[in-house]
C-alpha cells in the first residue's frame, strides 16, 4: 500500500461514519467488507467499491473483509476466486486474515431459520415459484397471502427439516419470512429465504440442497463478521428494511448498518457480468483479461496502473444518485498518471524509408535526447543513434499536402525530433505508384539548433535509424463499442467496434526500446502510452499494448451524439 497519496476526498458515507464515531457507536473500530459473488472477474465498477471499502478501513484504522458471496451453488468458482484475490491485491489492498466465505455460514443461517420458524416468523410455502410471484401484488395493490401462511410452528419445523433432508423435489417448497403481504415495500411481502436445489456447491459439496437467498444471507453474514458499515449499491436500498427486519428478529448482539451508494456506469463499455461473460464465452474478446474489457484483469493487461484506478475512484467520487461516467475520464486519469513517470521514446508505427543523401554511409551519430522533455533532469538522457537511412511515419509524408501542412512533402522541410532538419528532394515510387522511399538531404547546421538563416520549420516528426531500429508489434486497442451506451439499445453485441484492435506487425522503435522488460511502459512520442505485454513479450519478441493515445479522439464523436 502506498502511503504518500493525498488525503481522500470527503463523501456522504465518510460523513455518516464520522457521525457514528462521534456518537460513540463503534468503540471496536470500523469494519467494512467487499463481498463479490465469485461468478466472474471483477471490473472497474467493483474497483470503485473496493477503493471505497478498503479505503475507509485504511483511513479509519479499521479493517475490510474480503468475503466470497458464494451462496449460490456453482462448481466453477476457483478461477474466479483466484482472480478476485489477485485483483484486490493488485489494486493495493490487503484483507489480512479476514478472508471469508458466505457458504461457511450455512449451518448458522439454517439454525437461525429454525429460530424464526419457532418465533412464528417464517413458514414453509408449497406454492410454485410462479404462484409466489403472481401473488406478490404490485406497487399499488397488496399481495395475496399464501394458503400455507398459517401453518403451525410444528408443521413448519417438520417440513423445513425434511426439506433439508432431501425429501422433496427441487422447486416444490420454499421457506418464506412471515412479514406483511400488504407492505408498501414489496421486498417485505414474505420474501423467500430458502429454496431447494440439488446442485453441488464449490465449497460445501453435496452437504446442502437448501440454499439461502441473498437477502437472508447477506445481513446475517455481516453480523457474524462484526461489520459496522455494509456498503452496497443503490439497488439494495429498497432491501434495507428487510436487511434490518431479519437482524431485529434474530436479536443478534451486533447490528451492522447498510449504506447505499451509486454504482459506477461507464460509457462505451458494458459492466454486467452476464454481458462480460457472453463476450468471453463467445470468444468475441480474447479472455477475461482482454485489454479492451473493463475488467481489472483487462485494464492491468492493457497497462493501466493500480494508482490510476485508485485515482479514478477518487475523481468520480461517491454519490447517492446514479450517473454515467465518460470513458474519457478514465483515459485522462491514466494519461495524467503516466505522464510524469514513464520515459519517452520514438517508435514508428508504419515506416517509410528516408535516405539522407548528404550523410555519409556507415557513419553513426549518437544524439542525446531527454527521456522526459518537460523536466529533463527527472528521467535523464539516452543516446539515439542517427544514420544515413531513417524511418519516419508514413502519414508524416504527404505528396500533395493541404495548405499549412506542417509535416513533410516534396521540396519541403521538417525537423527530425532531437535531430536535424531534412528536406525532401525526391520521391521514389514502385510500379503501382506507391511511395516506397524518400530521398532527402539534411541541413548539418541544424543538429544542435535552429537554421542559421532563421527560416521557420514546421513540426518535428519522430523517426528511427533503420540500422539500429528494433522491430516491435503494436496492438492498438480502442473502445470496445461504438456507442456510449451499448446495453441500452437492442442487442449489445451489435454495437461492438470492429476497429477495437488493430495490430501493427511492422513497427520499428529506437534502440533503447530493445531493452524494455515485460511490464514496462513508454510514451511513444506523438502517439500514446504503451505497455510491454507481460505475457507476449518473450523469446526476444516485443509486443506493446497501446494503453491510451495521447489525445481523446472520441470527444468529438460524443459531442456529436
Ligand atoms: P451482477 O453483475 O451479477 O449483478 P454484481 O456486479 O452485483 O453482479 P457482485 O459480485 O455481487 O457483482 O458485486 C460485489 C460488490 O461490488 C457489491 O457490493 C456491489 O455492490 C459492488 N459493485 C458491483 N458493480 C458495481 C459498480 N458498477 N459500481 C460500484 N460497485 C459495484
Ligand atoms: Mg451482486
Residue nearest ligand 1's atom 8 by CA? 273
Q: Does the active-site annotation cover 248?
A: no
For residues 122 and 186, membership in a common domain is answered with: yes
For residues 47 and 125, membership in a common domain is answered with: yes
Q: Note whether residue 373 is domain-resident.
A: no
**Mind listing the pLDDT tens digit for each residue in 444-486?**
999 999 999 999 997 899 999 999 999 999 999 999 999 999 9
Residue nearest ligand 1's atom 29 by CA? 263
448: DSSP letter: S
pLDDT computed for residue 560 by the predictor = 47
Give residue 515's pLDDT band: very low, low, confident or very high (50, 70, 90): very high
For residues 324 and 432, membership in a common domain is answered with: no
pLDDT computed for residue 551 by the predictor = 87
Categorise residue 268: left if φ over 0, alpha if ψ from -120 to 50, beta otherwise.
Answer: left
* Residue 39 Cα to ligand 2 middle (Å): 10
Q: What ligand is nearest to the CA atom of residue 40?
A: 1
Percentage of residues in the chain having pLDDT higher than 90:
92
Question: Domain end: 239, 261, 283, which one?
Answer: 261
Please give the backbone phi and psi of residue 67, each rounded to the nearest 5 degrees, phi first.
-120, 120
Domain count, the chain: 3
For residues 238 and 288, membership in a common domain is answered with: no
The bridge status of strand 347-348 relative to strand 501-509 is antiparallel
**Position 75 pLDDT exceeds 80:** no
* Residue 268 Cα to ligand 1 middle (Å): 19
The CATH number that applies at residue 481 is 2.40.240.10
d(CA 2, CA 18): 24
Containing structural domain, residue 443: 355-368+388-461
> CA nearest 226: which of 488, 497, 31?
31
**Position 69 pLDDT exceeds 50:** yes
Q: Note whether residue 494 is domain-resident.
A: yes
- Report CA-CA distances (Å) from 34 to 289, 342, 437, 438, 504: 21, 32, 58, 59, 40
* Residue 356 Cα to ligand 1 middle (Å): 59
Among candidate residues 8, 37, 121, 155, the one labeled active-site is: 37
**Mind listing the pLDDT tens digit for each residue in 127-163?**
999 999 999 999 999 999 999 999 999 999 999 999 9
Longest Cα–Cα distance in the chain: 104
For residues 301 and 425, membership in a common domain is answered with: no
The b-or-e profile of 196-227 (16+ CB within 10 A means b, else e) is: beeeebbbbeeebbbbbbbbbbbbbbbbbbbb
- Report CA-CA distances (Å) from 429 to 357, 433, 434: 17, 5, 5
**Position 214 pLDDT exceeds 70:** yes
The b-or-e profile of 235-274 (16+ CB within 10 A means b, else e) is: ebeebbebbebbbebbebeeebbbbbbbbbebbbbbbebe
Question: Domain end: 419, 438, 461, which one?
Answer: 461
For residues 234 and 95, membership in a common domain is answered with: yes
The helix-helix angle for 106-118 and 153-165 (nearest 10°) equals: 160
Question: Domain end: 214, 235, 261, which one?
Answer: 261
Q: Note whether residue 181 is domain-resident.
A: yes
Reported pTM: 0.94
Give residue 542's pLDDT band: very low, low, confident or very high (50, 70, 90): very high
Q: Note whether residue 377 is domain-resident.
A: no
Q: Does the active-site annotation cover 121?
A: no
For residues 457 and 476, membership in a common domain is answered with: no
Q: Note whether residue 436 is domain-resident.
A: yes
**Position 76 pLDDT exceeds 90:** no
Give residue ranges with CB within 6 A of ligand 1.
Answer: 35-37, 45-46, 48-49, 69, 232-233, 263-264, 271-273
Q: Note whether residue 1 is domain-resident.
A: no
Which has more confidence, 154 or 254?
A: 154
For residues 116 and 216, membership in a common domain is answered with: yes
> CA nearest 347: which of 134, 479, 508, 499?
508
The CATH number that applies at residue 204 is 3.40.50.620
Amino acid at each position: 500500500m502506498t502511503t504518500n497519496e493525498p488525503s481522500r476526498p470527503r463523501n456522504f458515507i465518510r460523513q455518516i461514519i464520522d457521525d457514528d464515531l462521534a456518537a460513540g457507536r463503534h468503540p471496536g473500530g470500523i469494519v467494512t467488507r467487499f463481498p463479490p459473488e465469485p461468478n466472474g472477474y471483477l471490473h472497474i465498477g467493483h474497483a470503485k467499491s473496493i477503493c471505497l471499502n478498503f479505503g475507509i478501513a485504511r483511513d479509519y484504522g479499521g479493517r475490510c473483509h474480503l468475503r466470497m458471496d458464494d451462496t449460490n451453488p456453482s462448481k466453477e468458482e476457483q478461477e474466479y476466486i483466484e482472480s478476485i484475490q489477485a485483483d484486490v491485491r493488485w489494486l493495493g489492498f490487503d484483507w489480512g486474515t479476514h478472508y471469508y466465505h458466505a457458504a461457511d455460514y450455512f449451518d448458522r443461517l439454517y439454525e437461525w431459520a429454525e429460530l424464526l420458524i419457532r418465533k412464528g416468523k417464517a413458514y414453509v410455502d408449497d406454492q410454485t415459484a410462479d404462484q409466489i410471484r403472481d401473488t406478490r401484488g404490485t406497487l399499488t395493490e397488496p399481495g395475496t397471502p399464501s394458503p400455507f401462511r398459517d401453518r403451525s410452528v410444528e408443521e413448519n419445523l417438520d417440513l423445513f427439516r425434511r426439506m433439508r433432508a432431501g425429501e422433496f423435489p427441487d422447486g416444490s417448497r420454499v421457506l418464506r419470512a412471515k412479514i406483511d403481504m400488504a407492505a408498501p415495500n414489496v421486498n417485505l411481502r414474505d420474501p423467500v429465504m430458502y429454496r431447494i436445489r440439488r446442485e453441488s456447491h464449490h465449497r460445501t459439496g453435496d452437504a446442502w440442497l437448501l440454499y439461502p437467498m441473498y437477502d437472508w444471507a447477506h445481513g446475517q453474514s455481516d453480523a457474524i463478521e462484526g461489520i459496522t458499515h455494509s456498503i452496497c449499491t443503490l439497488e439494495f436500498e429498497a432491501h434495507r428494511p428487510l436487511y434490518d427486519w431479519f437482524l431485529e428478529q434474530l436479536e443478534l448482539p451486533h447490528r451492522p448498518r447498510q449504506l447505499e451508494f451509486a454504482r459506477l456506469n461507464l460509457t462505451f463499455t458494458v459492466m454486467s457480468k452476464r454481458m462480460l461473460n457472453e463476450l468471453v464465452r463467445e470468444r468475441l474478446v480474447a479472455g477475461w483479461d482482454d485489454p479492451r474489457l473493463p475488467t481489472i484483469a483487462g485494464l492491468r493487461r492493457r497497462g493501466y496502473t493500480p494508482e490510476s484506478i485508485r485515482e479514478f475512484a477518487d475523481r468520480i467520487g461517491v454519490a447517492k444518485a446514479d450517473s454515467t461516467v465518460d470513458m474519457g475520464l478514465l483515459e485522462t486519469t491514466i494519461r495524467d498518471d503516466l505522464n510524469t513517470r514513464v520515459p519517452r521514446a520514438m517508435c514508428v508505427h508504419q515506416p517509410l524509408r528516408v535516405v539522407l543523401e548528404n550523410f555519409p554511409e556507415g557513419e553513426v551519430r549518437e544524439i542525446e535526447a531527454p527521456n522526459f522533455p518537460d523536466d529533463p533532469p527527472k528521467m535523464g538522457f539516452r543516446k539515439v543513434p542517427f544514420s544515413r537511412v531513417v524511418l519516419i511515419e508514413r502519414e508524416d509524408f504527404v505528396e500533395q499536402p493541404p495548405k499549412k501542412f506542417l509535416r513533410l512533402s516534396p521540396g519541403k522541410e521538417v525537423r527530425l525530433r532531437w535531430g536535424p532538419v531534412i528536406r525532401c528532394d525526391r520521391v521514389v515510387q514502385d510500379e503501382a505508384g506507391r511511395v516506397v522511399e524518400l530521398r532527402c538531404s539534411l541541413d548539418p547546421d541544424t543538429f544542435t539548433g535552429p537554421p542559421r538563416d532563421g527560416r521557420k520549420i514546421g513540426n518535428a516528426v519522430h523517426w528511427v535509424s533503420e540500422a539500429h531500429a528494433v522491430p516491435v508489434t503494436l496492438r492498438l486497442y480502442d473502445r470496445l463499442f461504438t456507442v456510449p451506451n451499448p446495453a441500452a439499445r437492442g442487442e449489445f453485441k451489435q454495437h461492438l467496434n470492429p476497429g477495437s484492435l488493430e495490430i501493427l506487425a511492422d513497427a520499428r522503435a529506437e534502440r533503447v526500446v530493445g531493452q524494455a522488460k515485460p511490464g514496462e511502459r513508454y510514451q511513444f512520442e506523438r502517439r500514446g502510452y504503451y505497455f510491454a505485454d507481460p505475457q507476449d513479450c518473450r523469446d526476444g519478441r516485443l509486443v506493446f499494448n497501446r494503453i491510451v493515445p495521447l489525445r481523446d479522439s472520441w470527444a468529438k464523436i460524443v459531442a456529436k451524439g
